[in-house]
Amino acid sequence: MKYIRQFGIILVITFVGELLKAFLPLPIPASIYGLLLMLGLLITKIVPLEQVKEAGDFLIEIMPLMFIPAAAGILLSWNTMKEILIPLILITVITTILVMAATGKATELILNLGSAKSKETEDICHEESTM
Amino acid sequence: MKNLLCNSLFFGVAISIIGYEIGLSLKRKFKWSILNPLLISIIIVIASLLVLKVDYDSYYSGAKYLSYLLTPATVCLAIPLYQQLELLKSNWKAIIAGITAGVITSLTTVLILCFIFHFNHAQYVTLLPKSITTAIGMGISEELGGIVTITVAVIIITGVFGNIIGEFVLRIFVIENKIAKGLALGTASHAIGTVKAMELGEIEGAMSSLAIVVSGLLTVIGASIFCNFL
Whether residue B107 sits in one domain with residue B53: no
Whether residue B93 sits in one domain with residue B179: yes
CB contact (8 A) between residue B105 and residue A69: no
* Domain boundary residue, one of B39, B68, B97: B68
- Contact residues, chain B, for A57 at CB < 8 Å: 76, 79
Whether residue B82 sits in one domain with residue B64: no
Least confident of A61-65, A99-103, B12-16, B123-127: A61-65
Whether residue B85 sits in one domain with residue B27: no
Burial degree of A101 (CB within 10 A; 0-12, 13-18, 19+): buried
* Domain boundary residue, one of B22, B40, B68: B68
Does the pLDDT at position B9 exceed 90? Answer: no
Q: What angle do CA B220, B225, B227 make, to 5 degrees?
A: 90
Find out whether B210 and B91 touch, Cβ atoms under 8 Å: no
Whether residue B73 lies inside any domain: the answer is no
Whether residue B62 sits in one domain with residue B92: no
* Domain boundary residue, one of B48, B68, B88: B68
Whether residue B7 sits in one domain with residue B95: no
Least confident of B40-49, B87-96, B136-145, B221-230: B136-145
Whether residue B97 sits in one domain with residue B197: yes
Whether residue B63 lies inside any domain: the answer is yes
Whether residue B95 sits in one domain with residue B34: no
* Chain A / chain B CB contacts < 8 angstroms: 308
In terms of average pLDDT, the best of A23-27, A85-89, A97-101, B74-78 is A97-101
Given this model, what pLDDT does residue B84 score?
Answer: 87
Whether residue B174 sits in one domain with residue B196: yes
Whether residue B198 sits in one domain with residue B115: yes
> Any alpha helices (H) in chain A, and if so which ranges?
2-23, 30-43, 53-61, 63-72, 74-81, 85-130
CB contact (8 A) between residue A68 and residue B19: yes
Burial degree of B76 (CB within 10 A; 0-12, 13-18, 19+): buried
pTM of the model: 0.85
Q: Establish if A67 touches chain B: CB-CB under 8 angstroms.
A: yes
Q: Quick one: CA dihedral B198, B199, B203, B208, positive or negative? A: negative
Output DSSP code: residue B190: H
Q: What ipTM describes this predicted complex?
A: 0.88
Using N-to-C axis directions, what is the helix angle for B56-68 and B37-52, rounded to 10°? Answer: 150
Does the pLDDT at position B115 exceed 90? Answer: yes
Interval B178-208: pLDDT, tens: 999 999 999 999 989 999 999 999 999 999 9
For B183, the domain range is: 78-229
Whether residue B137 lies inside any domain: the answer is yes
Given this model, what pLDDT does residue A131 score?
Answer: 46
Of B134, B173, B189, the CB nearest to A101: B173
Whether residue B108 sits in one domain with residue B60: no
* Alpha-carbon span B23 to B17, nearest angstrom: 10
Whether residue B114 lies inside any domain: the answer is yes
Whether residue B63 sits in one domain with residue B84: no
Backbone angles phi, psi at B54, to 5 degrees: -95, 130
Overall average pLDDT of the A3-32 stretch: 91
> Any alpha helices (H) in chain B, and if so which ranges?
2-7, 11-30, 37-52, 56-68, 70-76, 78-83, 85-90, 92-116, 121-127, 134-144, 148-172, 178-200, 202-226
Whether residue B89 lies inside any domain: the answer is yes
- Structural domains of chain B, count: 2
Q: How far, CA to CA in Å, does B107 sit from each of A106, A109, B97, B215? A: 16, 21, 16, 11
Whether residue B133 lies inside any domain: the answer is yes
Q: What mean pLDDT is reported for chain A?
A: 86
